[in-house]
């Protein structure tokens, strides 16, 4: 498979998972965490699918399209090791959806980030909260969900808390 085909399949899987999650949380209270802004495409998709919802974005250094940068009050800029724990404390039990797309081509770094997220995110999650990730995460109190049709295992990961 070419790198272009792989990229397209990743984006199709990402969109299918985001659409599934948006449908699942549309009537649930809570805020959304977007871990990794990148170019702002998934942030823009979330805000278009869940209008009026508070979406808090975590990005080391913003370089997104200007139309896809959240308001300063909804942006945690800096190292996620520092910004995420503070937000978890602030939003304990209130996060209905986390979308994490902060993996890289460095497998050792991905493992370190996945372990950090697994240790950190749990207290923020609301009952029935969803976590979508490009990396496999182990978050206490969550269980894996089946992927939407057409998404191959290992391409994306879905977790849900009880409730």
Q: Tell me the average pLDDT across 87-112.
A: 93
Environment class of 54 (CB within 10 Å of its CB; exposed 0-12, middle 13-18, buried 19+) = middle
CATH of the domain at 8: 3.40.50.150
- The predicted-structure confidence for 37-86, as pLDDT tens digits, reads as follows 999 999 999 999 999 999 999 999 999 999 999 999 999 999 999 999 99
Question: Is the per-residue pLDDT at 106 higher than 90?
Answer: no
Q: Domains in the chain: how many in total? A: 1
Counting residues of the chain whose pLDDT is more than 70, the rounded percentage is 100
Q: Tell me the average pLDDT across 111-124.
A: 96
Helices 80-90 & 107-120, crossing angle to 10 degrees?
Answer: 20
Whether the Cβ atoms of residue 49 and residue 19 lie closer than 8 Å to each other? yes
- Using the CB atoms, write b or e for 63-73: b if 16+ within 10 Å: ebeeebbbeee
The pLDDT assigned to 5 comes to: 92
Q: Give the domain extent around 99.
A: 3-161
The pLDDT assigned to 104 comes to: 81
Mean pLDDT over each residue of the chain, to the nearest integer: 95
- The predicted-structure confidence for 13-28, as pLDDT tens digits, reads as follows 999 999 999 999 999 9
For the whole model, what pTM was predicted?
Answer: 0.95
The tokens of 151 are what?
A: 């998404």
The pLDDT assigned to 6 comes to: 86
């Amino acid at each position: 498979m070419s790198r272009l085909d792989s990229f397209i399949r990743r984006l199709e899987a990402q969109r299918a998972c985001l659409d599934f999650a948006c449908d699942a949380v549309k009537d649930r209270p809570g805020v959304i965490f977007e871990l990794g802004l990148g170019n702002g495409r998934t942030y823009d998709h979330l805000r278009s699918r869940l209008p009026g919802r508070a979406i808090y974005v975590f990005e080391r250094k913003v370089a997104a399209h200007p139309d896809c940068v959240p308001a300063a009050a909804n942006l945690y800029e800096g190292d996620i090791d520092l910004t995420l724990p503070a937000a978890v404390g602030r939003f304990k039990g209130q996060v209905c959806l986390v979308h994490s797309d902060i993996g890289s081509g460095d497998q050792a770094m991905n493992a370190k980030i996945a372990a950090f997220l697994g240790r950190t995110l749990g207290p923020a999650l609301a009952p029935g909260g969803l976590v979508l990730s490009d990396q496999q995460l182990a978050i206490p109190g969550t269980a894996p969900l089946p992927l939407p049709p057409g998404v191959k295992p290992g391409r994306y990961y879905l977790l849900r808390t009880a409730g």
